[in-house]
Amino acid sequence: MLRKAKVSDVRTIHKMINNAASQGDVLPRSLMDIYGSLRDFFVYLDRDDNIIGICAMTIIWENLAEIRSLVVLEEHRKKGIGRILVEACISEAITLDLFRIFTLTNKKEFFERLGFHEVERTSLSEKIWSDCFRCPKYPDFCDEVAMIIEL
């Protein structure tokens, strides 16, 4: 089941993100950051109401949103949960009149199947100067591809 995240989900979201970060799948995030951006998150629950997937849509600029922190527990991958989460984020962006949505990812094929295409990172200048500039991987060690969908 898909729903918006709740305050009671923060510690689970934090654990999922940082476990995935330790494997190089996403960037780590602090508890404070997750509390501050909780409204950005969707969660996907299994039949027992355990969170098995998360994803956030963050507004970057007046015409740009980002899909970030997409994590699906390994034993639940390849079941369409990631697609459901990303599509929920895209739907919310459209509701807010945001029709350019990007991601920085090492899962290029996944996002291509959803209609995203690769772009030069320099085309996302607002993003680079807001988040990327503070990232320890920037600029020489970044292993992510910039991808965008324009609706």
Q: In order along the chain (151 residues), what is the average pLDDT of each group of 10 residues?
A: 98 97 90 97 98 96 93 96 98 96 93 96 70 68 86 92
CATH number, domain with residue 17: 3.40.630.30
pLDDT at 27: 86
DSSP labels, 110-136: HHHHTT-EE--GGGGHHHHHHTGGGST
Domain that holds residue 95: 2-150
Radius of gyration of the chain (CA): 14
In angstroms, the CA 76 to CA 72 distance is 7
Number of domains within the chain:
1
